[in-house]
Amino acid sequence: MGPGSVYRGGVLAVSGGPDSTALMGCAALVPRGLPVIVATVDHGLRPASAVEAQAVAALAARLGLAHRILAWTGPKPAAHLQEAARAARYRLLAGLAREAGADLVLTAHTLDDQAETVLMRLCAGSGPAGLAGMAPARALDGVTLGRPFLGVPKARLVATCDSQGWPFVRDPSNADPRFGRARLRRLMPLLAEEGLTPGRLVRLAGRLRRDEAALAQAAASALSDLRRSGPDGHGTLILDGAGLATLPEAVALRVVGLAVTALREDAAADPPRLGQLERIVLGEVLPALREGIPCRRTVAGLLLAAGAGRLSLSPAPPRRPSRPHPA
């Protein structure tokens, strides 16, 4: 959703809560230049979800907007339910966009959501990339995911719905203490009293997003300069070890992370954890390169071998099966 972006059509993700209802209502007030479809994902997790989806359909019809209900079918996981529901929601929304010939999915994430996300990631020990929070726009399965309300407080959207007479519902899971986001939401007023307001958390995210973009660009440029070969037919990539060792550690860490990502066969797999990369790259590989001593470590199924002034990355050999203990 950058300057000059041109889109063919959009899918509005509307659950029926105040934020997404305001998104739908505001879209209806805008002169129709972009064809839109309102989509409600029924996760089937609460008895009232089907009724709520029908209520969104009724309001969409009243506003003159097309509407689709997307059902999340199949077994639901017992653990990490909210994460699984989020992944299913985005998959269904992107699928509808492609089916309809649209290339934009819009969600109603607010300033409050961004602040909670930053706080959750802080609690999880995230680095700058995680603390940068949600991006205003990003790629999503061949379409663009946009968040136009990311700088808007939730209270303003609630007030907009009230003033326009747009009915909405409140999801009880938003206050369910079983979920981490709900527990942190209850803490936000106390943190605000100490000065850690949602606005300050969002400004922190913006600053870190800016810095992370600069570091990512520096790392991509450094990887191009330091690459000596590969990946070759054996899946090996070689970097100039001396040059890597002289980089600022934040850039060197990202260079190795980019190289690892470039070599992994399963592009959809989760990237290596920041803590693991820090421990191995900063704690062992870079010191070995600086001191000119060999070092071999495994990260995300890849062998990192430092020595002879270079760092090579290649698929790790299969582990030997453990021998059974004698009876």
95 annotated to bind ligand: no
Picking from 11, 290, 272, 251, the residue whose alpha carbon sits closest to that of residue 140 is 11
287 annotated to bind ligand: no
74 annotated to bind ligand: no
Helix (H, G, I), strand (E, B) or coil at 312: strand
17 annotated to bind ligand: yes
Distance CA 171, CA 220 (A): 42
β-strands 237-240, 227-229 pairing = antiparallel
15 annotated to bind ligand: yes
206 annotated to bind ligand: no
Distance CA 190, CA 198 (A): 11
CB-side exposure of 68: number of CA atoms within 13 Å?
A: 16
193-217 as b/e: b if 16+ CB within 10 A: eeebebeebbebbbebbeebeebbe
How many C-beta neighbours within 10 Å does residue 151 have? 13
Residue tagged 């520096």 (tokens): 218
Distance CA 274, CA 215 (A): 15
84 within 8 A of 179, measured Cβ to Cβ: no
Longest Cα separation, the chain: 80
Tokens representing 23 are 């998104």
Dihedral-angle region of residue 80 (phi above 0 means left; psi in -120 to 50 means alpha; beta otherwise): left
Distance CA 300, CA 262 (A): 12
Across the strands, what pairs with 237? 313
Which residues carry a binding-site annotation for ATP?
15-20
Which residues carry a binding-site annotation?
15-20
